[in-house]
Amino acid sequence: MRGTLAGRITLVCLGVAGVAVIVAGLVGARLVRTTADNVLQSSLSAQADVVATQLDETGIGNRLGVGKVADVVRGQGISVVVRRAGGGQALGEAVAVQAAGKLGLAADHSGRVTVGGSQYLVETRVVGARGAAFALVLPARNADATQRALVRNIALALGIGLVVAALAGFVSGRLLGRPLRRAALAAGSLRAGRRDVRVPVQGPREVAEVAGSLNSLADALAVSEARQREFLLSVSHELRTPLTAVTGFAEAIADGVAAGDDAVHAGRTIQREALRLERLVTDLLELARLGADEFRLDPASVDLAALVRDCAEVWQLRCARENVRLSVSAPAAPVVVVADARRLRQVVDGLAENALRVTPAGAPMVFALSVSAAGAALSVRDGGPGLAPEDYPVAFERGVLNKRYRDRRPVGSGIGLALVHGLVTRMGGTLTAGPAPEGGAAFTIVFPLTTAVSSPP
């Protein structure tokens, strides 16, 4: 069974307090007992010295004198044993005589003896030169009383120690446990899908580390989920243009609008666009498999002139349907840059989608490729309403223009320009927006040339 943190800490505190009180008690008891014994012994010894000054050889022989002394000390529980001069029996209470006998009455002694299981403190003194001696005998049971009092005090200390330890353990356990419980709650919210939960980083270092790690985890989760969402948005965005082209050309064939050579041409375009769709789906699979969250770029030499012509072929039909005149200007010679051809198609498609959406019937739309010292510039221009000067600085911020024009013009989901800008930048090019000579907006991609292979038309 798993106890609570407070419970465990309380138990540990109780254990430590118990052991501390018991050890201190045992050491204390020993100390007190020896000290008490020493005090008793030295007081007995002092009494013996006093008695020795009162009882000389004759005194010990005198029953009356000994009786007086015995009366005085009896009040303190002390028995007197005497041996008269010239040898002979030791006289006194039987137990005291035995105790004195154990220590011997031959010299001045001071000691503790055991008789019949009880302990006695004994002081012997020799009086005169003819073997007269006496002993003072005190039962050591006074020390037992001290010991009992001591045990009572230790038990009291143990009780107080345990109560204090239990309180300290409980309080510190609660204090430690609170931030941990908060972290557990936050983790629960994270699991339930909330990403805005953060735990205050406070408390002891280890607990603060837990909170910090949890916060970083929440941040990492939020970032990775946002990137995945972004990626899904971009993929679905890129799927739209080729799909529309496939549908458009297929419809043209089905309706008989494209027949003969045109139908063959339309068929080829459908095939090419279907291939692009397939590759986009492959992208999706790859990204899902590798857990990546961005399109992979395969930079290679790309002929921009051919790319513009390919784009024009696909867009021609859609423009014709909207009655928009699509014109293309590109050098006849190849214009080679290093980029990813598929992503470049996505870029032109994104820009052309925007342009066509706002270009009114009869107005022009232009794909223009030119070469200058700055590099190869590919523009998508239109004769639509264009953008206001304050739009250009924020044109590539996600959703900003979409929100601005939502009530006035047809708009899409608002991620196209940000995506296109990201792709161009990642490929090493630049994308700028400005006014077009046709009256609408012009979006221009510039890539550095790999070699000077083309000349202006």
3-state SS assignment for residue 211: helix
Mutual angle of helices 205-254 and 261-290, in 10-degree steps: 170
DSSP state letter for 96: H
Beta strand 325-329 with 364-372 is: parallel
Q: Is 237 in the site for ligand ATP (CB under 6 A)?
A: yes
Q: Is 413 in the site for ligand ATP (CB under 6 A)?
A: yes
The DSSP element (H or E) to which 445 belongs, if any, is strand 441-447
Residue pair 126/133 in contact (Cβ under 8 Å)? The answer is yes
* Total of chain residues touching ligand ATP, rule CB under 6 A: 23
**Cβ distance to Mg ion smaller for residue 10 or 241:** 241
- Give me the sheet containing 118-127, strands edge to edge: 90-91, 79-83, 132-139, 118-127, 109-115
Taking CA atoms, 307 is separated from 265, 283, 337, 379, in Å, by: 17, 21, 11, 13
Q: Which does 405 bind (CB under 5 to 8 A by kind): ligand ATP, Mg ion, none?
A: ligand ATP
Q: Which pair of tokens denotes residue 184?
A: 């557990």
Taking CA atoms, 385 is separated from 361, 405, 436, 442, in Å, by: 12, 11, 10, 11
Minimum separation from the CB atom of position 389 to ligand ATP (A): 13
Minimum separation from the CB atom of position 417 to ligand ATP (A): 3
Binding string, residues 374-393; x marks residues near ligand ATP by CB under 6 A: --------x-xxxx------
Piece of the chain touching ligand ATP by CB under 6 A; list 129-137, 302-310, 320-328, 399-407 = 399-407
**Cβ distance to Mg ion smaller for residue 212 or 412:** 412
Minimum separation from the CB atom of position 4 to ligand ATP (A): 53
Q: Is 435 in the site for ligand ATP (CB under 6 A)?
A: no
Minimum separation from the CB atom of position 398 to ligand ATP (A): 7
Which chain residues interact with Mg ion by CB under 5 A? 354, 412, 416
**Cβ distance to Mg ion smaller for residue 69 or 415:** 415
**Cβ distance to ligand ATP smaller for residue 115 or 365:** 365
Enumerate the β-bridge partners of residue 137: 79, 122
**Residues whose CB is less than 8 angstroms from the CB of residue 282 and which lie 6 or more positions away in sequence, other chains included:** none
Q: Is 440 in the site for ligand ATP (CB under 6 A)?
A: yes
Q: Which does 441 bind (CB under 5 to 8 A by kind): ligand ATP, Mg ion, none?
A: ligand ATP
**Cβ distance to Mg ion smaller for residue 112 or 240:** 240
Piece of the chain touching ligand ATP by CB under 6 A; list 86-94, 220-228, 251-259, 416-424 = 416-424
| Separation between Cα atoms, residue 446 and residue 450, nearest integer Å | 12
Which one-letter amino acid corresponds to residue 13?
A: C
Given the rule CB under 6 A, which residues bind ligand ATP?
237, 354-355, 358, 382, 384-387, 401-402, 405, 409, 411-418, 440-441
